[in-house]
Amino acid sequence: MKMEDFGPVKEAPNNIFWHKGRISRHERECILGQKGIVLWFTGLSGSGKSTLANAVAEKLNAQGKLTYTLDGDNLRHGLNKDLGFTVAERMENIRRTGEVSRLLVDAGLIVLAAFISPLREDRAQLRQMLGRDYIEVYVDCDLAICEARDPKNLYRKARAGEIEEFTGISSPYEKPENPELIVHTDQESFEECVGKIISYLERYFEQG
C-alpha cells in the first residue's frame, strides 16, 4: 500500500483526525430513496410516545422506508446501561441518544426517538446538535389521564414513594415552546395522531 492510498486527513486538537467518509449522506439517501430525519417524541410517561413512534414506523415500513426506533428504556439496556437517573446522568443519556440519532440520520434513516426528555435545556441541545434534521413532536396528554393509564405501573410506584424524581409527580416536565408538531393523545384518536404525523412527514419530504 502506498502513502497516496491514504485518504486526506485534517489535523485537529489532541491528535484526533477527521477522515472524510467516501460515501456521503446524500449517496446513502439516494440508495434508500428517502431523506434522513429525526422525529423526537417528547411527553409524560404514559402519554403514548413509544406507541405512536412504533405505529408511525409501521406505516413508513409499509411504504418501503427504512426507519429505526430509539427508546429511552431500550437504550438503557445497551449504550446507556452505565447511566443512572441523576440530573447529570439523564442529560448524558439524552446527549448520547442525540449523537446516535445523528449517526443514524447521517446513515439515511428516519429515526423515531421516544423519550420523556422533560427539560427544555436538553431539547435545545438536541436541536442544536441535529439542526434541520430535528423535528420535535410534543405528545401532549393530561397528567391525570397518563396516570390513569399507567401502563407500566410507574405512577403508582411514584405516588408510593418507590420511585424518586418521577416526571410529572416529583420532578418537572417543561412543555415545549415551539415544537414542530403537537398531538393530543387525550383528545384525538390514535389514528388521528398517527395520521397527523404521517401528513407532516409527507409535506416535509415533498418540500425537499
| 110 lies in the site for a copy of itself, by CB under 8 A | no
CB of 35 closer than 8 Å to CB of 206: no
| 66 lies in the site for a copy of itself, by CB under 8 A | yes
According to DSSP, the β-strands at 37-42 and 134-140 are parallel
CB of 93 to a copy of itself, least distance (A): 11
| C-alpha–C-alpha distance, residues 169 and 144, integer Å | 11
According to DSSP, the β-strands at 18-19 and 9-10 are antiparallel
C-alpha cell, 111:
429515526
SS3 158: helix
Residues in contact with a copy of itself, counted by CB under 8 A, come to a total of: 68
| 78 lies in the site for a copy of itself, by CB under 8 A | yes
CB of 179 to a copy of itself, least distance (A): 18
Closest to 199 measured CA to CA, from 186, 180, 175: 180
* Catalytic annotation present for 24: no
| Piece of 43-51, 116-124, 130-138, 171-179 that binds a copy of itself (CB under 8 A) | 43-51
Give 82-125 as a DSSP string.
Answer: T--SSHHHHHHHHHHHHHHHHHHHHTT-EEEEE-----HHHHHH
CB of 201 to a copy of itself, least distance (A): 16
Q: Which of 57, 113, 126, 181 binds a copy of itself (CB under 8 A)?
A: 57
| 131 lies in the site for a copy of itself, by CB under 8 A | no
Active site residues: 117
Chain residues that interact with a copy of itself, rule: CB under 8 A: 1-3, 5-7, 9, 11-12, 15-19, 21-23, 27-28, 31-32, 48, 50-51, 54-55, 57-58, 61, 64-71, 73-74, 76-79, 82, 92, 96, 99-100, 102-104, 106-109, 141, 149, 151-154, 157, 163, 185-186, 189-190, 193
